[in-house]
Amino acid sequence: MAYSEKVIDHYENPRNVGAFEGDDASIGTGMVGAPACGDVMRLQLKVGKNGLIEDARFKTYGCGSAIASSSLVTEWVKGKTLDEASKIKNTVIAEELALPPVKIHCSILAEDAIKAAIADYKKKNAQ
């Protein structure tokens, strides 16, 4: 199967790989798995005092499309509010990376990881 150039670029030069040091209330962590293939994605969002996402990190144990999807969304979420980030749709990720139908679930993993990270952040900061 041929990967698109954007997938190959993000796969070979993934952006924002890793994890934040420490774990204070400004960081939300989402960990999700894809039932279709068993791949796992861990996404972290760092939220500034102004409520905007300052930075993001990811670690993905999975296929090239999953790595490219997570790399892409770490770029997309920066500067967004949590509300805006929660609206990033897997279909837009799949379209940007020109994912073939069998790889759509890889982009769903990225959408789910953003939502999980936001939920974790909100849980930490509730009260």
70 binds ligand FES, rule: CB under 6 A: no
Backbone phi, psi, residue 56, to 5°: -150, 155
- HSE of 62 in the Cβ direction (CA atoms, 13 Å)? 28
**Shortest distance in whole angstroms from residue 105 CB to ligand FES:** 6
Three-state DSSP string of 41-61: EEEEEEECCCCEEEEEEEEEE
Using the rule CB under 6 A, give the single segment among 4-12, 42-50, 100-108, 118-126 that binds ligand FES: 100-108
99 binds ligand FES, rule: CB under 6 A: no
Tell me if residue 30 falls in helix, strand or coil: strand
**Shortest distance in whole angstroms from residue 118 CB to ligand FES:** 20
Q: Tokens representing 117? A: 């990270």
65 binds ligand FES, rule: CB under 6 A: yes
Nearest residue (CB) to ligand FES, 66 versus 82: 66
Residue 123 host element (H or E): helix 104-124
Q: Pick from 66, 97, 114, 117 the residue near ligand FES by CB under 6 A.
A: 66
Using the rule CB under 6 A, give the single segment among 1-9, 86-94, 101-109, 111-119 that binds ligand FES: 101-109
Q: Tokens representing 105? A: 């679930």
Q: Which residues are catalytic?
A: 37, 106
Amino acid identity, position 37:
C
The site for ligand FES (CB under 6 A) is made up of 34, 36-37, 39, 62-63, 65-66, 103, 105-106, 109
